[in-house]
Amino acid sequence: MRTFIYLDESGDLGWNMHDPYQKGGSSRMLTLAAICMPEEKSKYIQRIVRALYKKRNRPLSNELKSVDLNTADKELFLRLVAKLLSEHKDIQLRSITVHKEYVNSKMKKDPNVLYNYMIKCLLLKPICESKFVDFMPDRRSEKVNTKWNMGEYLNQMILEQSIEHYVENQSCNVSPMDSSKCLELQFIDFYAGLVWSAYEFRDSKARM
């Protein structure tokens, strides 16, 4: 059985904490979110995304982003996600949020260091526990800059873990995808945006 993992983020990797966010300043929070599931469960994720498009009477060709969701959209999404998780215990929604103002100064010098550390905290366990993994980040997330390759980092992370611990994983294939053509990535974009909003704006409607 293969495990599919989709990843997206919300917030940014800027470090201007002097100016207000959206007025020259950077986001105070950075959220990474992922969904881990057996490959055959993708259809359930797609159904939730399609339901939001149907509600908005919006064609799938016109990509819906987390910033486009209104209050009613968020409420529908959260209801459907809660139902999904109660009925499918083998689907995991995972997220990690960092308050950037408290990030170690060494990590601020290279955005890859912080991003890699968050990836490790978020995904090392489910990847190592799954024999075969297909990892699909949003293409925009695949490289923070041209010096970093997510696939190389993940394979190094798995190898290091296997030195001291039993690791089930035999392969982890990284296939960056375009979210406009992938409903699963749109799903995790919605989720990442909700989690990030709960921290960045203290948006109570975003809390599950």
- Asked if the model's pLDDT at residue 200 lies above 60, the reply is yes
Instruction: Give the angle 200-105-21 at the CA atoms, nearest 5°.
Output: 25
Position 204 scores a pLDDT of 67
Position 206 scores a pLDDT of 59
Amino acid at site 100 = K
Position 146 scores a pLDDT of 43
pTM given for the model:
0.93
- Asked if the model's pLDDT at residue 77 lies above 80, the reply is yes
Distances, alpha carbon 124 to alpha carbons 36, 39, 135, 154, 160, in Å: 12, 19, 12, 8, 11
Q: What is the mean pLDDT of the chain?
A: 91
Position 141 scores a pLDDT of 64
* pLDDT more than 70, % of the chain: 94
d(CA 95, CA 83): 19
Buried b (16+ CB within 10 A) or exposed e, 40-53: ebbebbeebbeebb
Q: List pLDDT tens digits, range 108-155.
A: 888 788 888 999 999 999 999 999 999 999 987 644 544 457 788 899
* pLDDT more than 90, % of the chain: 79
**Phi–psi pair at 2, nearest 5 degrees:** -95, 145
Q: List pLDDT tens digits, range 153-199.
A: 899 999 999 999 999 999 999 999 999 999 999 999 999 999 999 99
Q: What average pLDDT does this structure show over 20-39?
A: 95
